[in-house]
Structure 1
Amino acid sequence: MTEKYVPSPEVVEQGLYVAYAALSTMAVVPIYFGSFAALKKWKNPKDKKSKKKKAEDTDDSDDEEETTESMSMEDAYMFPVFGSITLFGLYLVFRYVDKTYINYLLTAYFGLLGVMATTQVGVNCVAPIVKLVGIKLDKWHLTLTKKKAELYSAKFTYLHLIMMVASILLSGYYVATKNWIASNIFGICFALNAIQLLSLDSFKTGMILLSGLFLYDIFWVFGTEVMVSVAKNFDAPVKVIFPRLFFGLPAGEPYQFAMLGLGDIVIPGVFVALCLRFDQHLAGTKNPNLGRSTRFSKPYFIACFIAYALGLGTTIYVMHTFKAAQPALLYLSPACILSVLFMALARGEIKEVFAYTSEEGTEAAKAKEEEEKKNKKAAEEKKGKNEKNEKIEESTKIEPVAAEKVGSDSDQDSSNTPKIRKRKGGKAQKKK
């Protein structure tokens, strides 16, 4: 019987340092590159020609930009609530249902999402290289319509197809083996796509979101066993992991992993991306011809990015010291918020920070306002129609009453007429 391998404390300590460094790298890299990927071409709001250019977009792939989902203040308030409901629901499911079947379903679901995420990230990484080499790729445009209504539209090249095939193979490998490296690739791709496609409409919204999740993380980690239990049982690429002892582990020995949830990367990452867009806004107001250039001062982005790294380091230090799971947002949320506030105070731009609204937020607000106007107009039209119908109904009710009165009067006249005739007839008989 072979003895179980027990590493020395020095080896364990060194292994943990390697794991922490790997986790930190897998956290900051998606935030840095995702923030720049989310940065759109600067358009001067005062330039009226920019509105005309929107309607005259060409098929040039360089001018295409991914549509983003803007998070409003109402969404930020409700995010911790829906997150708590989902988390507790998963906890109950894992507790009372066989987790094997649940993880089969989750594996299939995240395997499909992983194909789309890795395809997009792969195209974003390889496309600049292809362009630099000078290879031109034909673009295909797929449109699905039904009775002249566009249901789906997609533009793709051969590069998309190649990356999709590679992503399908990677997804199949992950589903079959549950390899931790493939899981990390999916997790990093998910984080990159989320930071690129999800945006905050203002710093107010971002601070509300981080503050709400600050309390959310503290409650579910320190107050209950729910968060830790779900993280251990949830066998899906929603976290990045690394072996606690990677070098020096004998062959055949199972890995013990250290982990960091994607929520601790994506949520602060979206806030860091907002800081970069604000830096672009400040530079664009001074230089309206900024365009796609990223060569502008980035004080808020650098401050928030460094604050995130320090907050993550604090989380790891406390976790390592107390040998217990820590709510990362307990340290990351204050670090990100305070970095922006201190930078704004130092630069005398506190009013500009709280007055800032992103382009996506402005467009979403306009769309919401237009929708409210349409709904209000439709309600007024409906109310007008109802009032008109009520008047018509009232007029139709009055006419029968009038007819009844007329009818009753004529009946009275007809009833009186025979009496008169009788009298006349009586007088005539007397004369005879």
Structure 2
Amino acid sequence: MSSKYQASPTQVEQGLYIAYASLATLAVVPIYFGAFSSLKKWKNPEENSRKIKRQIDDEDDEDQDAPSESFSADDTFKLPILGSMALFGLHYVLGEFDTAYVNYALTTYFSIMGLFATTQVGVNTLTAILGLLGIKVDSWRINLARPSKEFYTAKFTLVHLVMLVASVMLAGYYAATKNWIASNIIAFSLALSAVQVFSLDSFKAGIFLLGGLCISDAYWTYGSSEILQAVIKQVDIPIKVVFPRLILGWPLGKAYRFASLGLGEIVAPGLFVALCLRYDQHRAGQRNATLGRSTGFRKPYFIASLIAYILGLGVHFYVGHTLKTTQPLIAYLSVACILSVFLTAMVRGDSKQVFGYTSEAGLAIAKAKKAALDKKRRLQAQKKQAAARRTAPPRAIHRVPKEEVYAAKPSPSVSVSEESTPGSPAI
């Protein structure tokens, strides 16, 4: 029965609309919550310059920011190139080795990555819910140290243990069945964690990232689509969110046909949207030094970029649905997000401040890189000087003959009185 099933045009249209709305939701939700999770506690720069000594206790641990990785313009300029190289490499590996073994290796890797991502997302979600309910969960601490140095410290609660067990079960279920719902949960968690952990240090870095990905995606879509399609067809890993093109009325047991959205089309614009939110926090913190962790500040750039992302998705879905052709989605999203910042800056009259902004993390990294570069240059200069001294010819030493020394040396004059006797001092 299922093999002869043919959906009506109306059912197909409705199914596609549901799929587009579902994919948009799966894309916007991790960007929104990941952006807010990426915010650090705002600290007064004047107080940051002072050395405040305090005892670290449990309350201080809860107030600590999660570790993050900041990307500069130089880093983001290289990312699209590295991504293209990885795609070429994966295509080569699939051509040289058995596809099944390649999928086993990739599934294992992404299952482990998904294990950590789903655990962290689940812990954050459950902790927030329990906090709203007023339920406090006891915590334990693991310290690996010796008297002079601490090697490792970790803090965990019962929520961590519960979510770890659930994540292991989810990863195992996905690896065994490749179920699309389990794949979506892992991909969703990976996207949210990436927006939370990674960050752009300036709008220049964001423009380089989105512009580079736009060019790269256009190349893979129009220039080497056969390589891209070959990799997509042979690899089944949770690097995209999917939804059935027709879910209502579809016969049970018949394989779905899916519409998909790649993680790159969520994470890259998501990093740009999160950058806009951090810039809004920066502007608010300059006016209010005691802002702390409050999110009750005005967010013009964040709202503009998030709306632009949603509009970019909508335009892409409409064009692809109407023309029935494959479109480079990241191009729509990149143009929409970048234009939203340009237009908002022009309307507010602070273009110079926007494009001259560098995050606190970016400034710290730039300062550390400059110090390391200066040290490297000093060491190189010292090595060159030492090498020059070793290779320099010995200096000729001019030795003056003793006769010339004695001749040039004046003899002391001694006056002897006639009345003095030998051996008596002269008067």
Category of TM-score, reference length = shorter chain: 0.7 to 0.9
Change (3 A) 1:2 1:49: closer
Native 8 Å contact 1:71 1:198 kept in 2: yes
Q: Indicate the residue corresponding to 1:266 in structure 2.
A: 267
Higher helix share: 1
> How far off is 1:158 after superposition?
2.7
Residues 216-259 of structure 1: per-residue CA shift (max 9 Å, x gap): 11110122222333233221110000111111111111111110
Tell me which moved more, 292-301 or 1-10. Answer: 1-10
Superposition map of 1:42-61 within 5 A: 42-45=42-45, 47-49=46-48, 51-53=50-52, 58-60=57-59, 61=61
Native 8 Å contact 2:2 2:254 kept in 1: no
Tell me which moved more, 92-101 or 147-156. Answer: 147-156
Change (3 A) 1:49 1:57: farther
1:131 aligns to 2:136 (yes or no): no
> How far off is 1:148 after superposition?
6.0
Change (3 A) 1:263 1:379: same
Q: Indicate the residue corresponding to 2:334 in structure 1.
A: 333
Q: Indicate the residue corresponding to 1:20 in structure 2.
A: 20
C-alpha separation between the residues in 1 aligned to 2:54 and 2:202?
Answer: 27
> How far off is 1:374 after superposition?
2.5
Tell me which moved more, 124-133 or 168-177. Answer: 124-133
C-alpha separation between the residues in 2 aligned to 1:18 and 1:49?
Answer: 49
Matching residue's letter, 2:158: Y
> How far off is 1:13 after superposition?
1.1
State, as a whole percentage, how many aligned pairs show the same letter.
Answer: 51
Q: Indicate the residue corresponding to 1:73 in structure 2.
A: 73
Query: How many residues in Structure 1 have an aligned counterpart in Structure 2?
Result: 396
Q: Indicate the residue corresponding to 1:424 in structure 2.
A: none
Residues 371-391 of structure 1: per-residue CA shift (max 9 Å, x gap): 123223333444454456557
Tell me which moved more, 312-321 or 224-233. Answer: 224-233
Matching residue's letter, 2:272: F
Native 8 Å contact 2:137 2:158 kept in 1: no
Q: Indicate the residue corresponding to 1:318 in structure 2.
A: 319
Residues 326-377 of structure 1: per-residue CA shift (max 9 Å, x gap): 2111100000000000000000000001110011111111111121232233
> How far off is 1:194 after superposition?
0.4
Native 8 Å contact 2:123 2:160 kept in 1: yes
Q: Indicate the residue corresponding to 2:423 in structure 1.
A: none
Native 8 Å contact 1:304 1:340 kept in 2: yes
TM-score, with normalisation over the residues of structure 2? 0.87
> How far off is 1:71 after superposition?
0.8
C-alpha separation between the residues in 1 aligned to 2:390 and 2:139?
Answer: 59
Change (3 A) 1:365 1:323: same
C-alpha separation between the residues in 1 aligned to 2:53 and 2:26?
Answer: 37
Native 8 Å contact 1:34 1:196 kept in 2: yes
C-alpha separation between the residues in 2 aligned to 1:256 and 1:8?
Answer: 15
C-alpha separation between the residues in 2 aligned to 1:152 and 1:386?
Answer: 43
* Secondary structure at the counterpart of residue 4 of structure 2: coil
What do you get for the CA RMSD once the two structures are aligned?
Answer: 2.4
Unaligned runs of 5+ in 1: 403-432
Matching residue's letter, 1:37: S
> How far off is 1:76 after superposition?
1.6
> How far off is 1:114 after superposition?
0.8
* Secondary structure at the counterpart of residue 199 of structure 2: strand
C-alpha separation between the residues in 2 aligned to 1:65 and 1:299?
Answer: 24
* Secondary structure at the counterpart of residue 156 of structure 1: strand
C-alpha separation between the residues in 2 aligned to 1:381 and 1:159?
Answer: 55
Change (3 A) 1:255 1:69: same
1:161 aligns to 2:161 (yes or no): yes
> How far off is 1:159 after superposition?
2.0
Unaligned runs of 5+ in 2: 400-427
* Secondary structure at the counterpart of residue 220 of structure 2: helix
Superposition map of 1:29-428 within 5 A: 29-45=29-45, 47-49=46-48, 51-53=50-52, 58-60=57-59, 61-132=61-132, 133-143=134-144, 152-225=152-225, 226-386=227-387, 394=394
Q: Indicate the residue corresponding to 2:418 in structure 1.
A: none
* Secondary structure at the counterpart of residue 52 of structure 1: coil
Residues 43-62 of structure 1: per-residue CA shift (max 9 Å, x gap): 122x1356524886544342
